[in-house]
Amino acid sequence: MFYSLTKPLLFALDPEQAHDISLDMLQLMYPLLPRRRIIKPVQIMGLEFPNAVGLAAGLDKNADYLDGLGRLGFGFIEVGSVTPKGQPGNPMPRIFRLSREQSLINRMGFNNDGVDRLLQNIGETRRDFVLGINIGKNLSTPVDQALSDYSEVYAKVYQKADYIAINISSPNTPGLRDLQNEAALEALLAGINQLRLRLEDEHQFQRPLALKLSPDLDHQAIPGIAELLRKHNVDCLIATNTTIARDTLQGQPLAAENGGLSGLALRDRSRQLLSAFYAELGSDIPIISVGGIDSPEEAQLRLELGAKLVQLYTGLIYRGPGLVNSIASAL
């Protein structure tokens, strides 16, 4: 009810301004909010998720809003993407609403305050949801040196994260998606796996590793990527990030804006990649589905197509926070 009243006001603002205001309000008001989480546990990656509905990376890049977001009913929250050093991201404006399509285009560019700030924000507070940390590379780091950035952030967040997600699929950092090429991905995962084994030995506990991929992958590359996931003991696949395709935006003036497209306009591509990877992976490696999920029916379809968990972002903006528990209760 409250969101239905405030949504017209928020949608009258610039999208990024509305994003910041709504999250600031949530964080300010969270002590007054009831804790309404649907408990329907799901076990994957050696973790128990209170329910199958998560928040996708990108909404809370610096873990500034965990207290407020934690009251909305999520079974898990993924923060980031976070890079070794803080960076401002791309020039504004960099978020565009496509209300008719219930979609967004964003070209944020990994804007964040850096990994040290994120860890400070997470602190030592106990959580009743699973926390994922999504990691990326700095814009200034050449793609052929990306392993250095990923390794630095991975090592720093290892003790704080419940799982760590490697983001090599954002379209808003030039060259980043080249890391999805088989040879580059082999080198990246091999390097992370060596670091992972050392950290497991040092700390005497394991942190599951997830990989987030693009919906724009050539489907011929999927078998090779699936084999690399098995070879390097990746615990989970997140499918998908945003798309650079515009075939679903015929006649939409904003289609010319650069950036990643999310929301209902991404739905079919997200479904297709989920199905294709599930056909290769089966039950060997669980899949988190994200992209165009805005209803209990769509979330249920993703489980039927092979996902174990789902994540929300754009659907949350158009449908409101009540979407979390409505999906969690229906699954």
Tell me, what's the pLDDT at 124?
86
Share of the chain above pLDDT 90, in %: 93
Name the β-bridge partners of 213: 239
Q: State the pLDDT confidence band at 2, using cuts at 50, 70 and 90.
A: confident
What pLDDT does 80 receive? 96
pTM: predicted TM-score of the whole model, two decimal places:
0.97
Structurally, the chain folds into a number of domains equal to 1
Taking only the tens place, the pLDDT of each residue in 26-66 is: 999 888 888 889 999 999 999 999 999 999 999 999 999 99
Say if CB 200 and CB 172 are below 8 A apart.
no
CATH of the domain at 160: 3.20.20.70
pLDDT value for 126: 83
Cis peptide before 81 (omega within 30 of 0): yes
Q: What angle do CA 148, 149, 151 make, to 5 degrees?
A: 65
Q: What is the pLDDT of residue 1?
A: 61
Task: Determine the pLDDT at residue 3.
Answer: 82
pLDDT tens track for 277-305: 999 999 999 999 999 999 999 999 999 99
Q: What is the mean pLDDT of residues 65-79?
A: 96
- Answer yes or no: is pLDDT of 323 > 80: yes
Residues 76-134 pLDDT 10s: 999 999 999 999 999 999 999 999 999 999 999 999 999 999 999 999 878 999 999 99
Helix axes of 182-203 and 146-157: crossing angle, nearest 10 degrees:
30
All residues at 6 or more sequence positions from 296 whose CB lies less than 8 Å from its CB, including other chains: 326, 327, 329, 330, 331
Confirm whether 214 is a catalytic residue.
no
Largest pairwise CA distance in the chain = 56
If you average pLDDT over residues 170-177, what whole number do you get? 94
3-class secondary structure, 205 = coil
Strands 130-135 and 95-98: unpaired
Q: Which pLDDT belongs to residue 32? A: 84
Q: Which residue out of 81, 103, 151, 170 is catalytically annotated?
A: 170
Structural domain that includes position 262? 2-330
Per-residue pLDDT tens digits for 158-170: 999 999 999 999 9
What is the number of alpha carbons within 13 Å of residue 214 lying toward its C-beta?
A: 22
Q: What is the mean pLDDT of the chain?
A: 96
Mean pLDDT of 238-256: 94
